[in-house]
Amino acid sequence: MICTACSCLCDDIELEDGKILNACERGYKHISEYRQNRAKNSVNGKELDLDKAIEAAAEILKSASSPVIYGMDTITVEAQKLAIKIAEKLGGYIDDNSSFCLGEFVEAILKKEVPSATLDQVRDYAYVIIYWGTNVYRSLPRHMSKYTYYPRGAKRNRGYDEDRFLVVIDIRKSEIAKLAKKNAKFIKVENDVELVESFLKAVEGKASKYDVGGVIREMKRADFNVVFGGLGLKYGLKGNYGLFFEFIRKMNEITPLYFLPSGFHSNMRGFNETLFETVGAVNKFSFSEKKSDRAFEFSELLRRNAIDAALIIGTDPVSSLPYDVSRNLMAVKKITIDPKNTLTASISEVSIRSALSGIESGGEMVRSDGVRQKLRPIEKTEYDDVYILKKILEGL
């Protein structure tokens, strides 16, 4: 089966005699505990059957003057397309976690503002591998062992200590920073913008605050290098994405350097690509104003009390958004579609239990590098996100 615990979408998970093989700790937990803490179909706290809950959801959306569809990063592309249709029919807003996660990075890749590559290409060809503001040991536990640093690739077949050069950039000595010993460098960063400027100066042969000349020299030795950027980089840049992308482009004038977001929810890239194909934007889109804007981010809409109903699919904003924002959810009618009884589901006017994508329902998801994967569920339930969203759409 394909593991849907994170955006690596590992395709080699096997179930044998009740054992889960090849999964990381995160994937193992995701698969082995999928029956635990399941959501119930309910309206105003009262347990009802699925059809009644769907009816109530459609009624809330129909009567809303300013609805938003939010989340969708853990559901399949097929379900995402239906959610977009619902937002379009309502003339409402649509946004996902990427607006506060790595949406800017995916957008730059989709708009071809920076060169990108697949994880398979990284495994086969990459020499310098830079992890910037991300600790994949915790967030994407098999990233280095399955896709990047450790595997022997087609052109990198002498092992990581000879055929790879690892660079870890972080504000602390994380687990992966500790790996930066032989053929490697750890850069403790205090200011990401200054570090980008240091790289730009080093490209021109000038001295700079951070000693990055050695990294540039290593990159020049190879015909394939890669930067994985995480949330630490995103927030460290403080909005200066253009400067960072300029660094990637400048590097490419002297040696190939590809850029990849280091990972996120299982199908965040799928949502970004699906919305991009539909409206030309990756997130924070208003169907009534027909444009994407920062003001249409879910968190901004909440902050300004600009919405009166929210269809929240496969995400838990009460847990993941800062309190200054999440507290305003209480003034909004909430419909939650989720396999799990999340904190948001527990306080929603309508809660709808869905199937867990990849385990109980099939469909397509998009890996963090843009490679599409067909899910191979171990069970099959009729009442998956596609069924539920189709019914809601019909009810509008």
Partner 1 sequence: MLRIARLLKFEALIIVARHSAEQKETVIYLNPEFAKRSGIKEGDIVSVVKGDRRVNLKVKLLDTAPEDGGIIPNSIFASYLSDFQNFKSFRAYIEIAEGGESKVEDILKIVMDKK
Q: Give the interface with partner 1 as residue ranges (CB under 8 A).
A: 25-26, 29, 100, 135, 138-139, 141, 171-175, 177-178, 231-232, 235, 299, 318-331, 343, 346-347
Cα–Cα distance for residue pair 74/366, rounded to 1 Å: 10
Cα–Cα distance for residue pair 303/285, rounded to 1 Å: 17
Residue 63 or 305: the one with the smaller Cβ distance to partner 1 is: 305
CB of 231 to partner 1, least distance (A): 5
The type of residue at 125 is Y
Q: 307-316: buried (b, 16+ CB within 10 Å) or exposed (e) per residue?
A: bebbbbbbbb
Residue 63 or 319: the one with the smaller Cβ distance to partner 1 is: 319
Cα–Cα distance for residue pair 232/77, rounded to 1 Å: 28
Q: Are 238 and 193 in contact (CB under 8 A)?
A: yes
Give the containing element (helix H, strand E) for 160: helix 160-163
Nearby residues of 72 by Cβ (< 8 Å), 6 or more positions away = 79, 80, 83, 96, 267, 271, 313, 314, 315
Residue 225 or 326: the one with the smaller Cβ distance to partner 1 is: 326
Residue 76 or 135: the one with the smaller Cβ distance to partner 1 is: 135
Residue 236 or 377: the one with the smaller Cβ distance to partner 1 is: 236
Strand 19-21 and strand 257-261: pairing? unpaired
Residue 290 or 327: the one with the smaller Cβ distance to partner 1 is: 327
Residue 173 or 217: the one with the smaller Cβ distance to partner 1 is: 173
CB of 133 to partner 1, least distance (A): 8
Nearby residues of 223 by Cβ (< 8 Å), 6 or more positions away = 125, 127, 255, 256
Residue 60 or 177: the one with the smaller Cβ distance to partner 1 is: 177
Strand 46-47 and strand 42-43: pairing? antiparallel
CB of 173 to partner 1, least distance (A): 6
CB of 252 to partner 1, least distance (A): 28
Residue 145 or 288: the one with the smaller Cβ distance to partner 1 is: 145
State the Cα angle at 156 between 169 and 183, rounded to 5°.
Answer: 40
Residue 167 or 388: the one with the smaller Cβ distance to partner 1 is: 167
DSSP single-letter state for residue 393: H
Q: Are 257 and 225 in contact (CB under 8 A)?
A: yes
CB of 300 to partner 1, least distance (A): 9
What are the angstrom distances between the C-alpha of 152 and each of 4, 110, 148, 162, 163? 25, 29, 9, 11, 9
CB of 100 to partner 1, least distance (A): 7
CB of 219 to partner 1, least distance (A): 27
Residue 257 or 325: the one with the smaller Cβ distance to partner 1 is: 325
Q: Which of 320, 278, 281 is nearest to 299 (CA)?
A: 320
Cα–Cα distance for residue pair 62/67, rounded to 1 Å: 9
CB of 299 to partner 1, least distance (A): 7
Q: Which of 74, 137, 128 is nearest to 101 (CA)?
A: 74
* DSSP-derived 3-state class of residue 109: helix
